[in-house]
Amino acid sequence: MIPQDQSSEEWKEWRKRHIGASEVPIIIGKSKWMTPYQLWQQKLGFTPGLKDNYAMRRGRDLEPIVRDLANQELKASFKPEVLVHKELEWMSASLDGIDRKKRAIMEIKCPGLEDHQKAEKEEVPEHYYPQVQWQLFVADLKTCYYVSYYNEALAIVKVKRHDDYIVNELLEPVTEFYRCLVEMEEPAKHEDDFIQITDPEFEQYAREWKAAHESAALYAEKEKYYKNKLISMTDDSNCKGYGVTLKRVAREGSLDWKKRWADMMTQFPQADEAYPESEYRKESIGYWKVTQDKN
């Protein structure tokens, strides 16, 4: 039985045993917010779920309002409903709306300006398209109305079910991800995935590095402050005192290669083909980037 209260613990546990439509873009690598490995960890309880944030609360609060507006626009009666696939019960879709008389479903988004502008051009953003197609697959229907709401403006895109896309792009990776869940096998990692280290020695080095990093930032600010103080006490001439030398240095301005190249392409467009960028690009260089996590 599908839990009715989607804020309950029962609902959260139910979702862990199913692959929902909003998870499909993550699984196939189209999400901007999470990787398949991070989703796998979350669904198995190795990491906590996403914290509720302003955007999520805003979306929930606006959903019934936007649905009413869309129903008026389409002269329809879409209502929210959660479905599972008629044959594969681990496949689910939490629909923002379904109108059985129209044999259609609805997906509501309250996105930023860029995504909304795509909807105004009758396009579904790349990171939402897999979700819509999965919903159509689970619901076994042919039409979805993708509804975008931004700054009191409504844009509705009529989306048709794309069976070739579902078969060729969605089913295999989603089924493989579900197998990884059932067998507790890690999916392939992405460059944004990280292994958690719990070694006490690593913890000590991390503490020391963070302290040194913060001190470096503090002293960089101090160095800049006192440097400007020294400069302010000169009469705009070279000077020295107490072991410090201040010397005015003139440096030629840097060359704007980007603008120069653009101007050259305007005059000689054939040069881009004659001297392709790939022929002059050096091999990529790997390096470690160490940063401090934000709490």
pLDDT tens per residue across span 91-134: 999 999 999 999 999 999 999 999 999 999 999 999 999 999 99
Average the pLDDT over 185-205 and give the result: 89
Model-wide pTM > 0.85: no
Residue 3 has pLDDT above 70, yes or no: no
**Residues 55/72, Cβ–Cβ less than 8 Å:** no
Cα(175)–Cα(167) distance, integer angstroms: 11
Domain positions in the chain are: 9-182, 200-279
pLDDT, average across residues 234-249:
91
Across 282-290, average pLDDT: 83
| 82 beta partners | 94
pLDDT tens figures, 9-67: 777 787 888 999 999 999 999 998 899 999 999 999 888 877 777 777 888 888 999 99
Supply the CATH classification number for the domain 9-182: 3.90.320.10
Q: What is the C-alpha separation between 145 and 67, in angstroms, rounded?
A: 11
Distance separating alpha carbons of residues 37 and 33, to the nearest angstrom: 12
State pLDDT tens for residues 147-176: 999 999 999 999 999 999 999 999 999 999
Q: Is residue 227 over pLDDT 80?
A: yes
- 182 has pLDDT over 90: yes
Query: Residue 292 pLDDT > 90, yes or no?
Result: no
Confidence of residue 139 (pLDDT cuts 50, 70, 90): very high
Q: Is the pLDDT of residue 7 over 70?
A: no
Where does the pLDDT of residue 251 fall: very low under 50, low under 70, confident under 90, or very high at 90 and above? confident
Q: What is the mean pLDDT of residues 177-184?
A: 94
pLDDT at 47: 84
Number of helices followed by number of strands (H, E) in the chain: 11, 7
What is the average pLDDT value for the chain, to the nearest integer? 90
Which pLDDT belongs to residue 272?
A: 82
Query: Cβ(65)–Cβ(72) under 8 Å?
Result: no
